[in-house]
Amino acid sequence: MDWLTTVDHKKIGILYLIAGGLFFLVGGLEAILIRIQLIKPMNDFVGADTFNQLITMHGTTMIFLAAMPMLFALMNAVIPLQIGARDVAFPFLNSLGFWTFFAGGVLLNISWFAGDIPDAGWTSYVPLAGPMYAGGHGVDFYLMGLQIAGIGTLIGGINFMATIINMRAPGMSFMRMPMFTWTIFITSALIVFAFPVLTVGLVALTFDRLFQANFFETGNGGNTVLWEHIFWVFGHPEVYILILPAFGVISEVISTFSRKRLFGYSSMVFATVLIAFLGFMVWAHHMFTTGLGPVANGLFSIATMLIAVPTGVKIFNWLFTLWGGSISFTSASLFAIGFIPTFVMGGVTGVMLAVAPADFQYHDTYFVVAHFHYVIVGGLIFGIFSGLHYWWPKMFGRVLNEKLGKATFWTFFIGFHLTFFIQHFLGLIGMPRRVWTYLPGQDFDTMNAVSTVGAFLMGIGTIIFVINVIVSAANKSPVADDPWEDGRSLEWSIPSPPPEYNFKQTPLVRSYDAWWNEKQKGNAEMPPAEPVGPIHMPSPSILPLIMSIGLFVAALGFMYDHLVVAIAGLVVTFGSMFCRSVFDDHGFHIEPEEQEKGVHA
Amino acid sequence: MSAHDHHLDGHLPHEPEKATLEGRNKILGFWLFLGAETVLFGTLFAAFIALRHQTLDGPTADHLFELPMVFAATMILLVSSLASVFAVQALHQHKVKAMIVWLIITILLGLSFLGLEIYEFNTYVSEGHKLTTSAFSSSFYTLVGFHGAHVAFGVLWIGLLIAQIFKKGLTVVTAPKIYVSAIYWHFIDVVWVFIFTVVYLMGKVG
């Protein structure tokens, strides 16, 4: 019950991790099924329809319900601690954001039980996703599920931007913020400016499907390329929303385990901002073959290649941080070091795809599949694994087992390259993506079999990680505040796990790498910026959960044309908003005596 | 720093909406939310501009729009924005009664704008301009309707705030709410200026 009403950002982080982790397993299972189907030519393990549903749900689940929530888990667990804050700016909204994401995710996945599964691809291109070719309610689940989950994401973005701007500890200037905080700040800005575009796209397609509007109905003057523009104006920044936090994690982990200050900190900050800006400018490189014309293709081609410059700055800064450092190869640092060459390969194929004339050749082949899995799995998922191993003691007060962690790394790392490296060549010799089977004798057979074996290895790596989590939960030995002994930022200056108020006294930040610096000066704790006093805390609330359930019910009502159900759901949601507005939440105070007893989260 | 330390001691600071960290967070968060709203309307405008000539056999913009009525609606909304400016001024001077009066004037003007819009949509439908008629009609009703829904939400919201002021008075908790609702009201006013230009004026002159 405590977990349903919590507004503590550390607990919400754990909720995000559990929910995102479950969806990661679901999406992984879908991937395994896809690879089993493709293990040999003319396979009939799943039918063509099921295959379409699997690839659609795999992509949608992994991007929106696994990767983003796991990033939100790390954000929630770490950001307020890194900036020396007692809480996020909007604890109530933080909880609401989690529950709307969860409601949206559940809504998408009950499509498997409703028998109407989205099958138009994660990009949901029209007219394939329009009422003409996608009858039934499959695509409606996609539209409604993402719409509700998107509310949660937008709330999270606003919340973390406001938190980082307004709630930094005294002395924590922008250019003293840890790199992870910087990347989350920029990511949050991308969320705020990209997600509303998706909202409009989803609304337009929903109107087309449910109310016979004509945004994308070419027969009535609609325009299908409009969907592509809207989707990718959102979709391209989305890949930077995913990758920038991974860059932040890698920066923290590499600097900690090299025992060195991050090389070129200010150029890292500048590179992050530049990548985010360029990320917004290049959406049409997803549409080179749509017929935009040579001028547009040329401009978007060059703009896309420009992104390689700040990304290269980052790569070299990581290498120079490692250079001459005394590196300890923990599981976290293995994932971070494995990330570097893997992500470089994904970046290089990205530049290849950015060459518009060459793209006509690679377009819709397995080369593209290999490219985006290299950046998203090899970049983001490696980053998440690295961050989880790194911050696990801070989140749960237990260290993950190093032997199992290394086993996770090696099986996942080898499995990953086995699966996707070979897909570049499958693409180059002409295997199209999104096909559910292929004929024998086209040189596709062996490479597909190898790819499937790799997928199983990744599955095994994930299972080892789950075992590691269970083993560490059973291991009761307490963890030091700074278990790696080389912690550099503020989160390592307080107990693991932190008390619910984070900092008994707001710390005074005197330099970049604040905690490392105090340790160098021989100090055992951060200098306080305020005297000990009562700490104001927000009260827990059940309303976020109720509001999300209301939206969930309303979505089902709209989809199945039960107006009464839809209105009832909306009444529940708006009624909860009304209650929230009318009854003030004054919260409560934790007095100094109680702080001594150590109230733990 | 907490909320109720302030409102018990009786005297409010000059800008009560910025007196607490909660209040400052609320204002900053709301500006960020308006950033998101700007993108939302920007996308709706983009879709409308892409589709505004796709009228097929349905009525065209030139045939439908009556500029005098839309101009009246524009004036009503602009004046309501002015009223909410006066409400915030009264807030800064702690004149609670004047503030409530200006807020009531704001929502009355908002309601008359909504009345005109409903009348307008009704006329269009009777002329065969429905959501399903053409791509132009779909994007028109979605863009202008989204704005209308924002006005309706604003009217309900400010109404609720007036009730709260009656119940709790002007405090460091209620002041930020009034303040952000005024920002919101200006925002939907600015959006309307763009709608008036892009949808109605450009619809009339081609």
Band (A1; pLDDT cuts 50, 70, 90): low
Q: What is the DSSP string of A399-463?
A: PPPHHHHHHHHHHHHHHHHHHHHHHHHHHHTTPBTT-S---SSSS-HHHHHHHHHHHHHHHHHHH
Return the pLDDT at B4: 43
To the nearest whole Å, the CA of B52 is away from the closest chain A CA by 10
pLDDT digits (tens, 9 = 90+) for B134-151: 999 999 999 999 999 999
Give the mean pLDDT of A489-505. 93
Rounded-to-integer distance, Cα A327 and Cα A333, Å = 9
Give the mean pLDDT of A333-356. 96
Contacts with A167 from chain B: Cβ below 8 Å = 21, 25
pLDDT at position B2 over 80: no
Percent of chain A with pLDDT over 90: 93
pTM confidence score:
0.94
| Best of B22, B138, B157 to mutate (most A CBs within 10 Å, chain A) | B138
Flag if A200 and B131 touch (Cβ within 8 Å). Answer: no
Rounded-to-integer distance, Cα A581 and Cα B165, Å = 12
Band (B193; pLDDT cuts 50, 70, 90): very high
Give the mean pLDDT of A140-155. 96
Give the mean pLDDT of B175-182. 95
Return the pLDDT at A43: 94
Band (B12; pLDDT cuts 50, 70, 90): confident
Return the pLDDT at B5: 43
Return the pLDDT at A587: 86
pLDDT digits (tens, 9 = 90+) for A82-124: 999 999 999 999 999 999 999 999 999 999 999 999 999 999 9
**Complex-level ipTM:** 0.93
| Best of B41, B54, B171, B184 to mutate (most A CBs within 10 Å, chain A) | B54
Rounded-to-integer distance, Cα A105 and Cα A87, Å = 26
Q: Please state, as a whole number, how many other Cβ atoms lie within 10 Å of the Cβ of residue A435.
A: 12
Nearest residue of B to residue A535, measured between CA atoms: B2
Q: What is the DSSP string of A21-55?
A: HHHHHHHHHHHHHHHHHTSSTT--SS-HHHHHHHH
Q: Residue A560 contacts by C-beta under 8 Å, 6 or more apart in sequence? A: A137
Band (A598; pLDDT cuts 50, 70, 90): low
Average pLDDT, chain A: 94
Which of B147, B199, B186, B174 is closest to B40 using CA atoms? B147
Return the pLDDT at A594: 77
Flag if B40 and A89 touch (Cβ within 8 Å). Answer: no
pLDDT at position A601 over 50: no
Residues for chain A: how many in total? 601
Nearest residue of A to residue B130, measured between CA atoms: A213
pLDDT digits (tens, 9 = 90+) for A191-204: 999 999 999 999 99
Residue type, B129: H
pLDDT digits (tens, 9 = 90+) for A216-232: 999 999 999 999 999 99
Give the mean pLDDT of A286-298. 94
